[in-house]
Structure 1
Amino acid sequence: MTQTIGIIGSGLVGKSVAHLAVAAGYKVVISNSRGPDSLSKLVKELGPLARAGSVEEAIAAGDIVSLAIPLANFKTLPADKFVGKVVIDQTNYYPGMGDFRRTDLDQGKLTSSELIQQHLKDAKVVKGIHNIGWIHMQYNARPKGDAERTTLPIAGDDAVAKEMITRFIEAVGYNVVDAGSLADSWRIEPNTPIYFWPYAPEVPEGLTEQEAKEVYRQRGKPLSPEQARQLISTTKSPSPIGGTLEGLPPIHIALFLELASANTVEG
């Protein structure tokens, strides 16, 4: 039976996950805070395997539920609807963006995925597909056996849920390595070596902004499972904890702002 991926959030990340999922033959139910009617154009673009729904419908339909929302919005998730659900946590902690900040996250007493798991106490949360930019999420996907296939990490506390997420990520175009428990997921969070940069191409100096954008839209160098494990195992606790705009390639910020100003970023 074809599995369904329920996606909460139709912004750049949610759209990329939806495209990957339907390309791999999964059904998709995608939702956002504005309701299904706002997603008609996206659903048409995704094709017959996709439909729009409310957040509750996406949760109910999903064999796997993707959280493609800002971490700051986690309390809006209806925890009682997630009972028994396998969840991909794609959120990231960016304390410098907006007014969302938590002392327990800043002090490393809790990882962002542990925070999600606390809220969704009856779900099975797995951190994954969070450490690669939305642009390269689609561009870097490659079939099994392809020499250019790269590797993404996951972390979680439930072995069955991790296996389910692993199969999904492998199906949409990536190798997978296990980074441990949710408590260990700090090793794959923002401001760590495996976050973002390994999946983006190098942009030479001296290019115009348009030329730089064209280069940046290409895939990055492949990261082997062995290289990914090495990055994870040698990671030191980041200080400060959390991501910053300064920690991202400037051209990535430029592309994001371009899309935002064009009013194409949906949440």
Structure 2
Amino acid sequence: MRIGIIGAGNIGGNLTRRLTALGHQVTVANSRSPETLSALTDETGATAAEAAHAADGAELVIVTVPLKNVPDLPKGFLEGAVPGAVVIDTNNYYPQQRDGRIDAIEDGLPESRWVSAQIGHPVVKAFNGTYAQDLLDRPTAPGTPHRHALPVAGDDPAAKQVVRDLIDALGFDTVDTGTLDDSWRQQPGTPVYGSRGDAEEVRRLLDAAQPERPAEFRA
């Protein structure tokens, strides 16, 4: 699969490592320039590009930049992607630590709904509560007892299945959180956020979530 990754931090970098190792054609971009990604591309065989072109020809795009930077992504950066490309949003809202106040999210809009509106494309929320190092250290084969599971939310069942299949290939089970309107259940401050539980545990934690955002994750 041709995959574009926009953001080369901890999650973006380790997804580049894992996805290239699985044989995917990965193009990766950061907020600076392709030249600054030479160590990562030399290590993985991925291609570096400007953010405006990282999604060109991609069947799947991963947006993994700080939430506050989403509105600053190049206009039309998804126009070169394959029609119907699936877009994964890995973002979290950290108003006190990084992002500042975003009124719509403070008023209750799920974070990935906000991201989808900013980029003008449906998204699937995944990897947002995953420790980056776990992508390298915790994959296991399907059927492994107590296999680490990740929650996944999205409106389009077909797009969500593409993401779930990809995560399975990466070595993790998945649990369907529901639509993006339900994705608050996996946002920061919820029981499942940062969980390393198996599918049964993740379902239990999603069910235990409360809609009120904890004070440490409000502006």
What TM-score results when the alignment is normalised by the length of structure 2?
0.90
> Which of 200, 214, 217 pairs up with 1:240?
214
Matches of 1:26 and 1:67, distance apart in 2: 17
Matched AA of 2:86: V
Moved over 6 A (4+): none
Matched AA of 1:16: N
Aligned to 1:85: 85
- SS of the equivalent of 1:40 reads helix
> Which of 42, 54, 59 pairs up with 1:58?
54
User: 1:120-164: per-residue Cα shift (whole Å, max 9, x none)?
Assistant: 22x230000111111222211222223352100110111111111
C-alpha spacing 1:155/1:140, structure 2 compared with 1 (3 Å)? same
- SS of the equivalent of 2:152 reads strand
Mark the runs of 5 or more structure 1 residues left unpaired by the alignment.
200-222, 245-267
Matches of 1:151 and 1:87, distance apart in 2: 20
C-alpha spacing 1:74/1:242, structure 2 compared with 1 (3 Å)? farther
Aligned to 1:226: 200
- If you compute each CA radius of gyration, which structure gives the higher value, 1 or 2? 1
Q: Identity, % of aligned pairs?
A: 35
Matches of 2:122 and 2:105, distance apart in 1: 20
The 8 Å contact of residues 191 and 238 in structure 1, kept in 2 or not, is answered as no
Q: How far 1:87 moved relative to its partner?
A: 0.8
Alignment RMSD (CA, Å): 1.8
The 8 Å contact of residues 85 and 124 in structure 1, kept in 2 or not, is answered as no
The 8 Å contact of residues 126 and 161 in structure 1, kept in 2 or not, is answered as yes
Aligned to 2:176: 178
Matches of 2:126 and 2:43, distance apart in 1: 25
What TM-score results when the alignment is normalised by the length of structure 1?
0.75
Q: How far 1:186 moved relative to its partner?
A: 0.4
- SS of the equivalent of 1:41 reads helix
Aligned to 1:24: 22
Aligned to 1:265: none
Aligned to 2:119: 120
